[in-house]
């Protein structure tokens, strides 16, 4: 079976890169920029907020070992899909929540999962994740690839997942 590709934007790409790298069946994760208008943007271009790109991870995976539905679970559970243009302290259009689909099946699964999660009542606010066709993916500069690994840091850029706090009854 041929490897498949999935593109997810969930705020800071470093944390999502590290999260997806740990999943059995994921063959490669690359950080980059997608969804904007400027060809070959740099990190500085994207951070300016004027290119329309989102910090994105491109996940190459073996669908015989990990399904797209599982990747969607990881995406939604490891960022806050209820905050427009923001993840934790990172604010701007480049930090928006987006699923860039490559096939009609990916689009359908993404729409179903977003709708399912939105209807559960477990989120504090409605999900704002956009579901858009994949466009040109521009790999980020080499110093952004495997950033946490290269610097010996623990992933720390994603705070919360937008779900309501669980309240336990008094004992």
Domain residue spans of the chain: 4-151
Question: What stretches in the chain show pLDDT beneath 70?
Answer: 147-148, 151, 153-171
Q: What is the pLDDT at residue 87?
A: 78
The CATH number given to 4-151 is 3.30.1060.10
Q: What is the pLDDT at residue 168?
A: 46
For 131, the token pair is 């579901």
Q: Give strand pairing partners of 60.
A: 5, 28
Q: Is the pTM of this model over 0.85?
A: yes
Query: Which residues lie below 8 Å from residue 58, measured CB to CB, with a gap of 6+?
Result: 5, 6, 7, 29, 30, 31, 32, 137, 139
Q: What is the pLDDT at residue 158?
A: 54
Q: What is the pLDDT at residue 12?
A: 83
Q: What is the pLDDT at residue 141?
A: 80
Largest interatomic CA distance in the chain:
59
CA separation for the pair 64, 29 (Å, rounded): 17
* Candidates 6, 10, 12, 74; catalytic one: 12
The mean pLDDT of the chain is: 88
Q: What is the pLDDT at residue 117?
A: 95
Q: What is the pLDDT at residue 151?
A: 67
Q: What is the pLDDT at residue 156?
A: 59
Q: What is the pLDDT at residue 46?
A: 95
- Is 12 tagged catalytic? yes
For 23, the token pair is 């999943």
- Report the helix count and the strand count for the chain, using DSSP H and E: 5, 8
């Amino acid at each position: 079976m041929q490897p498949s590709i999935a593109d997810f934007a969930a705020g800071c790409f470093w944390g999502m890169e590290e999260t997806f790298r740990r999943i059995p069946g994921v063959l490669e994760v690359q950080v980059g920029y997608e969804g904007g208008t400027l060809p070959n943007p740099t990190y500085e271009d994207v951070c300016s907020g004027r290119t329309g790109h989102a910090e994105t991870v491109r996940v190459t995976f073996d669908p015989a070992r990990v399904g797209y539905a599982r990747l969607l679970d990881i995406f939604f559970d490891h960022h806050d899909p209820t905050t427009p243009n923001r993840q934790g302290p990172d604010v701007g259009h480049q930090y928006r929540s987006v699923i860039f689909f490559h096939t009609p099946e990916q689009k359908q699964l993404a729409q179903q999962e977003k709708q399912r999660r939105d209807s559960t009542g477990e989120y504090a606010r409605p999900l704002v994740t956009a579901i858009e066709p994949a466009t040109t993916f521009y790999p980020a500069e080499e110093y952004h690839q495997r950033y946490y690994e290269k610097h010996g840091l623990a992933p720390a850029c994603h705070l919360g997942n937008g779900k309501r706090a669980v309240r336990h009854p008094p004992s």
